[in-house]
Amino acid sequence: MLPGSHSQTMRTCGGPGCRCHRGERHGLHTSLTFKTSEGRSSAAYVPAHAVDDARAEVEAWKRL
């Protein structure tokens, strides 16, 4: 179980000739937001192969 929440975003890079500047953004990028032991909010990137597992673990924490 993971205490926190997940979000997905589409991104625009810094390459001026990239397709993302014509509206075709990069993504979906998933991140997990959580509180550190010091009580601060932090976020971590979730790799594509682990998105389903992370989502399930966050939902399990919410049910608890």
Q: What is the pLDDT of residues 18-53, one digit of tens each?
A: 988 888 898 889 999 999 999 999 999 999 999 999
Instruction: With respect to residue 24, please indicate whether it lies within any of the assigned structural domains.
Output: no
In a domain, residue 46? The reply is yes
pTM of the model: 0.69
Q: Which domain holds residue 51?
A: 1-8+41-64
DSSP 20: G
pLDDT above 90 for 6:
no
What pLDDT score does 47 carry? 93
Ramachandran category for residue 6: left, alpha or beta (phi over 0 → left; psi -120 to 50 → alpha): beta
Tell whether 60 is covered by a domain.
Answer: yes
Domain count along the chain: 1
The CA-CA-CA angle for residues 22, 49, 10, to 5°, reads 20
Are 54 and 46 within 8 A, CB to CB?
yes
